[in-house]
Structure 1
Amino acid sequence: MEGQPHPYAPTDLKLPGYVPNFFTQFTIVSVYGLSSLLVGENIAKVISRYAARDAVVEGVTAVFEGPASLLAVYAIASGKSYSYILQFSVSLGQLYGTAVYFLTAYLEGDHFAASSYHYYVYYIGANASWVVIPSLIAVRCWNKICSAVQVQGQKRTKSH
């Protein structure tokens, strides 16, 4: 079974089951752009805080957490010893930013959504991953760091 011709190099590469895309690039980009616009607009309507951004929290995220995240990716990929402390730090920074986000909303009356459905789906549901994922990473890194310190302590005890 030869499969259909494909646009990839080398041209004699066998790709069994290859099916050419029947959507044009314009169609794909248009659907993506329209979807992003509709979802972004809904979030801004539902949670007015997204329309008026908190410059301090976003500034800290952009200046510190963004580059630290990229450094963490590099450290993980190259097996650097500081990868766990970086992941832990970035996760704590994310949890702090999320806590500030939710606490300021609570202190301002927490009336940013048009309905309880939108409140729970967009405000709570969409932001849940910003709590769950960094928490899991922080706990994992905490355990790894504690284990490494414990092993190091045991090595020192044995050598004396």
Structure 2
Amino acid sequence: MTANIVPPGGEALPHPYYPLGVALPGYIANELSTIQILAIFSGTCAAVMLPTLVAINRKRPDLPKRELSTAMWFVLCGCIHLVLEGYFAFNAVATSRHVLAQLWKEYSLSDSRYLTRDAFVVSMETVTAVCWGPLSFLCAWCIVADHPARHVLQAVISLGQIYGDVLYYATCTLEYVVRALEFSRPERYYFYGYYVFLNAIWIVVPSMLLWSSCKKITRAFARVQQLEATKNGKAH
């Protein structure tokens, strides 16, 4: 099922996005199929992650698997935030044939706000790209280098990811409750597969990492307080 948009002086252009009748001036349909888009995305991630895994193992062969997984997670976050979300933040994807734009148009079947350049979505993705993208790479480096700033960065990035995702869900839900607007197509796999599942990853994983960092930071301060108390006791 498609909605029609009518650009000034032009013919109606069909598009598959909801709510029906949403205006997408200059919209260009995807040339790539869903399978092709997902294959390109998966292949690109693999092409980045596999060499990264080899490089980390060479640099830190003694790095525990859990730490290795966390470092890889932040590298993946850095790539997605900086490249994919960064592209969206500074480009109108609805009118582009770029492969990244086509990926966003595929995702937008679950949330058309990405094509209408919704103010919240653009702002949220810009902050994510500019802040959490570079910091994710820095955090990955800190994990491999065993740098003391690692848990501060991990906590800040994870909290930022959770906050952005919660607001993302909240604004969409509010639009539905208050204005009865649905931005996802009615097919369940778009709503639950793209909108719910993909975004939930950036709540579940960051929540675990935030909890881990909070425990580490709390324990570190507890040790410092204990040492200071022991030192003061000896001084007296």
Structure 2 length-normalised TM: 0.50
In 1, the alpha carbon distance for the partners of 2:158 and 2:222 equals: 23
Q: 1:99 aligns with which of 144, 157, 166?
A: 166
Counterpart residue number, 1:82: 149
| Displacement after TM superposition at 1:40 (Å) | 5.0
Gaps of at least 5 residues in structure 2 are: 1-34, 41-98
Is structure 2 residue 186 aligned with structure 1 residue 121?
A: no
Counterpart residue number, 2:204: 132
Bigger mean CA offset, 111-120 vs 90-99: 111-120
Counterpart residue number, 1:143: 215
Bigger mean CA offset, 108-117 vs 57-66: 108-117
Counterpart residue number, 1:49: 113
- Indicate if the aligned counterparts of 2:110 and 2:194 stay in contact, CA closer than 8 A: yes
Structure 1 length-normalised TM: 0.71
Counterpart residue number, 2:182: 111
Counterpart residue number, 2:53: none
| Displacement after TM superposition at 1:46 (Å) | 2.9
- Pair 1:132–1:34, CA change in 2 (3 A): closer
Gaps of at least 5 residues in structure 1 are: 1-30
- After superposition, the C-alpha distances for 1:61-107 in whole angstroms (9 at most, x for unaligned) are 12111111111111111111110000000001111111121111112
| Displacement after TM superposition at 1:41 (Å) | 4.3
| Displacement after TM superposition at 1:34 (Å) | 7.1
Compute the RMSD of aligned alpha carbons. 2.3
In 1, the alpha carbon distance for the partners of 2:227 and 2:116 equals: 54
Counterpart residue number, 1:5: none
In 2, the alpha carbon distance for the partners of 1:73 and 1:141 equals: 14
| Displacement after TM superposition at 1:47 (Å) | 2.3
Is structure 2 residue 68 aligned with structure 1 residue 68?
A: no
In 1, the alpha carbon distance for the partners of 2:200 and 2:175 equals: 20
- Pair 1:78–1:146, CA change in 2 (3 A): same
In 1, the alpha carbon distance for the partners of 2:38 and 2:191 equals: 23
User: Highest Rg: 1 or 2?
Assistant: 1
In 2, the alpha carbon distance for the partners of 1:101 and 1:155 equals: 43
